[in-house]
């Protein structure tokens, strides 16, 4: 796979797939522009080369039709400020008017196509749609790591119709950190896996248990493991059909000498609401009618001690329902513990990213991935479709 700095883009029309799927508030104001700032090195390199820059992205889930609230207009405005340059937003991402707008571009101009997902052909990886996108430019650059686990027209299909493809600096950075951390980590290597369900992260757990020195399991998924060990878990989230898998993962850890950590206490409540009565109990004393919604203080101490000698830490998934303050202390405490460790620290996953920023410790984390699903699939040991497409395109060139 080639990267943007290894190909000649001087003065050429270059179409970029980026991930500008940023959160917006009720007034359509951007609340977090991390994903925009993440690709600035790639776009600034293209500006330095005086390329004609065409940008494409999706935003939200408009389900294949134009929805005004998912317009990329706020993104174009914010990017104009970052680049200190006018970013022209096209009325659509296809059609003769867009073609004419691009044909009239001068070197150094920046055009952003309107939301790709306003057309159902994008998510269907339609060849006709991919071919039309490819016709706009001489070169395709993919820097949308957050979408790399999808096979869509704008990141996979398009590679079949352009002669030159490459990845941007963000994808390079993501792959360098994530692949190196999993395949060649400085040890001890610790993985922290949280979130609500085992099913969403089962393959990651199966892959990681054979690579790490310590595996810390928190969040709702921990209750499937605790139930597998015979504990009462009340009305906590449990996937009964995965209890055998949980037992297999624990047995694999035992055989390999991997230290596996589960909560020893938790915050329980009658229901998942901010005003619900809650209390802290050891896992042996769970109330059969209540549910576990966060890790407790003894678990925070245990997990923090487990990180004490770590050299590499990967974290995916919160320790509880952190959106509610009463059940967010465990996740916040783990953010502080990870941030203040002496390890190389990598955070991946949308919820974990939000938790880190909410706690104000993002500057102390070595690397925060921009991809939730893509990060998880790399941790599962999978090949990402968009990365494979870039490699195959580079092989044809």
Active centre residues (catalytic):
35, 197, 350, 373
Nearest alpha-carbon partner for 111 in 72, 52, 51, 54:
54
Other beta carbons within 10 angstroms of residue 188's beta carbon come to 18
E strand intervals along 248-290: 259-261, 265-269, 278-282
Beta-strand relationship, 367-368 and 139-142: unpaired
β-pair partners for 56:
17
DSSP 109: -
Token output for 356: 């880190």
Neighbouring residues of 23: CB distance < 8 A, sequence distance ≥ 6: 30, 31, 32
- Report the alpha-carbon distance of residue 327 to residue 113 in Å, rounded: 41
Kindly report the backbone phi and psi dihedral angles of residue 189, in degrees, each rounded to the nearest multiple of 5, phi listed first: -105, 120
- Report the alpha-carbon distance of residue 202 to residue 361 in Å, rounded: 28
Could you give the angle at which helices 350-359 and 329-339 cross, rounded to 10 degrees? 80
Nearest alpha-carbon partner for 196 in 159, 222, 175, 161:
222
CA torsion through residues 135, 139, 144, 149, sign: positive
DSSP 357: H
End-to-end CA distance of the chain: 10
Q: Which residue is listed with tokens 């776009």?
A: 43
β-pair partners for 3:
167
Token output for 189: 């290597």
């Amino acid at each position: 796979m080639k990267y943007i700095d290894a190909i000649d883009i001087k003065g050429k029309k270059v179409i970029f797939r980026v991930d500008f799927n940023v959160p917006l508030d009720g007034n359509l104001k951007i609340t977090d522009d991390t994903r925009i700032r993440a690709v600035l090195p790639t776009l600034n390199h293209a500006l330095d080369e005086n390329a004609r820059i065409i940008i494409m992205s999706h935003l939200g889930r408009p389900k294949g039709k134009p929805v005004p609230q998912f317009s990329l207009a706020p993104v174009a405005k914010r990017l104009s400020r970052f680049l200190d340059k006018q970013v022209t937003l096209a009325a659509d991402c296809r059609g003769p008017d867009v073609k004419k707008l691009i044909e009239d571009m001068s070197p150094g101009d920046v055009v952003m196509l309107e939301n790709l997902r306003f057309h159902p052909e994008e998510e269907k990886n339609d060849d006709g749609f991919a071919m039309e996108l490819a016709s706009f430019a001489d070169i395709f650059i993919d820097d949308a790591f957050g979408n790399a686990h999808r096979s869509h027209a704008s990141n996979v299909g398009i590679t079949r119709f352009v002669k030159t493809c490459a990845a941007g600096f963000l994808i390079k950075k993501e792959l360098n950190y994530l692949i190196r951390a999993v395949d060649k980590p400085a040890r001890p290597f610790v993985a922290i896996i949280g979130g609500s369900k085992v099913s969403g992260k089962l393959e990651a757990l199966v892959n990681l248990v054979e690579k790490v020195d310590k595996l810390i399991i928190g969040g709702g998924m921990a209750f499937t493991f605790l139930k597998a060990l015979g504990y009462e878990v009340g009305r906590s989230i449990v996937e009964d059909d995965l209890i055998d898998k949980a037992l297999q993962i624990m047995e694999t850890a035992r055989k390999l000498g991997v230290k596996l950590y589960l909560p020893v206490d938790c915050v329980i409540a009658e229901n998942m609401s901010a005003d619900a009565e809650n209390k802290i109990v050891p896992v042996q004393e769970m109330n059969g009618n209540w549910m576990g919604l966060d890790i407790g203080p003894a678990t925070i101490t245990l997990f923090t001690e487990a990180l004490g000698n770590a050299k590499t830490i990967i974290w995916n998934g919160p320790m509880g329902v952190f959106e509610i303050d009463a059940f967010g202390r465990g996740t916040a405490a783990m953010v502080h513990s990870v941030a203040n460790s002496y390890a190389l620290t990598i955070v991946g996953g949308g919820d974990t990213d939000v938790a880190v920023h909410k706690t104000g410790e993002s500057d102390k984390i070595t690397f925060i991935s921009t991809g939730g699903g893509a990060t998880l699939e790399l941790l599962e040991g999978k090949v990402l479709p968009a990365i494979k497409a870039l490699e195959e395109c580079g092989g044809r060139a």
